[in-house]
Structure 1
Amino acid sequence: MPTNHHKQRENSSQTLIRACLVGLEGQFWLRFDANRCLTHLEPMEAEIPLEFQENIQDIAGDLLSLGGVDLQINGGLGLAFPEVTQTDLPKLQEICDYLWGQGIDAFCPTIVTTSLENIRRSLAVFAELWGDPQPNTAKILGIHLEGPFLNYEKRGAHPAQHLQPLTLKNLQQVIGEFAPMIKIITLAPELDSSHKCVEYLRSLGIVVSLGHSLATETEANQAFARGATMITHAFNAMPSLHHREAGLLGAAMVNPDVYCGLIADGQHVNPTMLEIFLRAAKRPFLVSDALAPIGLPDGVYPWDDRQITVTHGTARLDNGTLSGTTLPLFAGVKNLVRWGICDLEKAIALATLAPRKALGMATWTTGKPINLLRWQGVDGTVEFSRL
């Protein structure tokens, strides 16, 4: 039986925090062990044992959240994920470290439409990091394949020469032995003439996201019925809402089982439309859709065999086509608050809780290590720090 001395020594290695938590109503006590494992989560009204009362950290005036989860990010620090090679492994670790510094706990490296050779090579490189997560750096959850099964008319900045017909054979050729590490595939459901591709991907445990698509409301709902549970960057690369045709976007917004990714940089979607969307959509979440120059200054950068110009965090091709952003995920959170679209807690939840739920991940769960962000108002702005 442990003695009181042993209990006190054990308790001295634990931390007790009182705080308001994003996504939970009221104030809570959180207890962590020496390994940052969340051992207890109780409402503030719960009685705290006397032996812990000297170890209390009271930050009830601020918000605590989980770290961010970015389900769509295309590169970083000048490296595009579809172009990685074995020699880029150190740079990939630098990107993970950079994202950790931006408040990101985990992310899905996104491989956009490129050649089959490039896709397979990139997957092989990421497989080495995916299976070896490290502490205090952003974790690779798995790959997001955005393409090559996209509608030609809604390809946006994706290179037309590398688009592929959506068939089971082509899916199997692209995925191959990498199915366990592929988390999300964005595809245009109207290209699936066999009506078997969504179900096949779901059988592999891959989340199917609809995007770069001309799908009608009926076609979208058919894909949702087969197991698609997400749409990629709402409004972009899909028909807009229309009062006589809801389309893919409208079908997704009203479906309680479908998560809708959204870029809140003010360029991809007008702020007024962002507010309308967030009032109407059942399950929205934020993504960055950041390109390789994230973490670098504005300028001109290579992008496959083309180039992009980054101005104030917005990236465009030479013909003016919007290709992405270089703003980190939490810039979208701050934008939503600054524009008065939603309060801070809801905005944070869109970048922390909602993407976790979109992948079926746990949120505020005891029994495992957990990383926290502390949000505070600083000189009229909102800032966060790791706790």
Structure 2
Amino acid sequence: MITLINARIPGFKNLKQIYINPHGIIEKIKETSFEHIGEIIDVEGDWISLGGVDLQINGALGKAFPELTEADNFVLEDICKFLWTQGIDGFLPTLVTTSVENIQRSLKIIDEYIKKHPQTSTQKAQILGVHLEGPFLNVEKRGAHAAEYLLRPSLEAVEDILEKYTHLVKIVTLAPELDLEGEVIQYLDSHSITISLGHSDASAEQARKAFEKGASMVTHAFNAMPPLHHRKPGLLAEAIVNEKVYCGLIADGRHVAPTMIDLLLRASHYEKGIFLVSDALAPMGLEDGFYPWDSRQIEVKEGTARLINGTLAGTTLPLFKGVENLVKWGICDLGVAIAMATESPRKAINLKGIEIGQTANLLRWHKNEASKQLNWERINLNTL
């Protein structure tokens, strides 16, 4: 048994003790006391969390997930190992709008990889499923998505794309104004697939109806949707006032201004319902420069990726950069920021957070008050 003492845990009040059994499972969480069992680790008031979960990541190490080929099993393995070093426990490879053929090929390769590589392995992030960000998007809000591959949502189109991979797809981003009857939303919901509204020009009423039909998420809040307006609240405002809806957020300082992030978190009672995503593109883990992106090209500067025409395409920054930014900007305290990268994304797709029975893949966070530097490290139970 290992006991971590004097730990701060996101979502818990006061200092806690975490009891971890010989199998690496959290057996008990209780108030700090003198009841210490086995090996004792005093974390001295630092924050303890599970690793991060990234629900929107488009690629890494030079490989975009929609461009996977049969020879890319080793690439997926390398990406999983790389993301583990970035503090990530699990992620959803995200397939942006591309041809149906490309989507189906990537789904097949990812599915085969998961079957061949047991997810009980350590030292690498787990693939939790797939996020389809398209192709059922509004052409007027497509952003960097390729217009020629956009499709109107229909049961026939969804069944054609998903085929035998409904078990693999965990999130589908779509524009609800293209599915006014909600047939596609209800179909996806019936297959336990989370429907996220995004790349959309939906009104508040259209968004409300989509949430009533089964949608429960918003893709990268503020981006590729109508802005908040006092007479036309739109999709995002409807999501904010709905306590059952989760919103993804890119906190890189480029996609959304810090002031608007502050407003969003205040309106949502801070971490409640808001989770961070990286929205990282294939050059994540590589140097700045020019890189291919489908048939086009992107330029990466200081972690921000844009098409050559200046359209914002995504980032190459890791998920925890958002945690660092939220604290640096003074928007929320460290515990809330950590929760938005570790607890909230798990809740958004119905996974367990840090609790009794959870595998103790734990991070220790420390903020140096003098330098304001934020650091984290994995707690390696095998070396204790």
Give your verdict on TM over 0.5.
yes
Aligned-partner residue type, residue 49 of structure 2:
S
Structure 2: tracts of 5 or more residues without a match: 380-384
Who is 1:30 aligned against? 18
- How far off is 1:15 after superposition? 0.9
For residues 161 and 15 of structure 2, what CA distance do their matches in structure 1 show?
48
Question: Distance in 2 between the 1:293 and 1:383 partners?
Answer: 23
Whether the 8 Å CA contact 1:63–1:376 is kept in 2: the answer is yes
Cα distance in 2 between the residues matched to 1:234 and 1:264: 10
Q: CA deviation at 1:193?
A: 4.0
Which whole-Å CA distance do the structure 2 matches of 1:165 and 1:193 have between them?
11
Does 1:117 pair with 2:90?
Answer: no
The percent of aligned pairs where both chains have the same amino acid is: 52
Alignment match of 1:198 (pick from 147, 160, 185) = 185
Q: Within 5 A, what are the aligned runs for 1:281-300?
A: 281=268, 283-300=273-290
How big is the shift at 1:42?
1.8
Match of 1:85 in 2: 69
Please say if residues 20 and 60 of structure 1, whose CA atoms lie closer than 8 Å, have aligned partners that are also in contact. no
Find the counterpart in structure 2 of residue 381 from structure 1.
Answer: 373
- Structure 1 residues 327-350: Cα deviation after superposition (integer angstroms, max 9, x where no partner): 000000000111111111111111
Give, in whole Å, the separation in 2 of the partners of 1:25 and 1:351: 19
Distance 2:228 2:185 in 1: 24
Q: 1:357 aligns with which of 309, 334, 347?
A: 347
Shift in Å at residue 41 of structure 1?
1.7
- The total of aligned residue pairs comes to 370
The match for 1:227 is 214
Other-structure match for 1:42: 30
Normalised by the size of structure 2, how large is the TM-score? 0.94
Per-residue deviation at 1:136? Answer: 2.1
SS at match of 1:252: helix
Q: Alpha carbons of 1:306 and 1:246: their partners in 2 closer, same or farther (altered >3 Å)?
A: same
- 1:250 partnered with 2:237: yes
Find 1:129's aligned residue among 113, 116, 138.
113
Partner SS, residue 222 of structure 1: helix
Residue 337 of structure 1 is matched in structure 2 by: 327
Larger radius of gyration: 1
Shift of 1:139: 0.5
Q: Show CA shifts across 1:157-194 (max 9, x none).
A: 00000001110100000111000010000000110144
Once residues 128 and 113 of structure 2 are traced to their aligned partners in structure 1, the CA distance between those partners, rounded to angstroms, is 10
How many Å separate the matches in 2 of 1:36 and 1:95? 24
**Aligned residue for 2:382?**
none
Structure 1: 4+ residue segments shifted above 3 A: none
Structure 2 Cα separation of the partners of residues 55 and 167 of structure 1: 57
**Aligned residue identity for 1:362:** K
Pairing of 1:95-244 with structure 2 (within 5 A) = 95-131=79-115, 132-133=118-119, 134-244=121-231
Structure 1 range deviating more: 57-66 or 34-43: 34-43
- Quote the offset at 1:22 in angstroms: 1.7
**Contact 1:214/1:239 (8 A) holds in 2:** yes
Instruction: Give the 5 Å matches for 1:279-318.
Output: 279-281=266-268, 283-318=273-308
2:255 is aligned, of 244, 268, 284, to 268
| SS of corresponding position for 2:317 | coil
- TM-score, structure 1 as length reference: 0.93
- In structure 1, runs of 5+ residues without a counterpart are 1-13
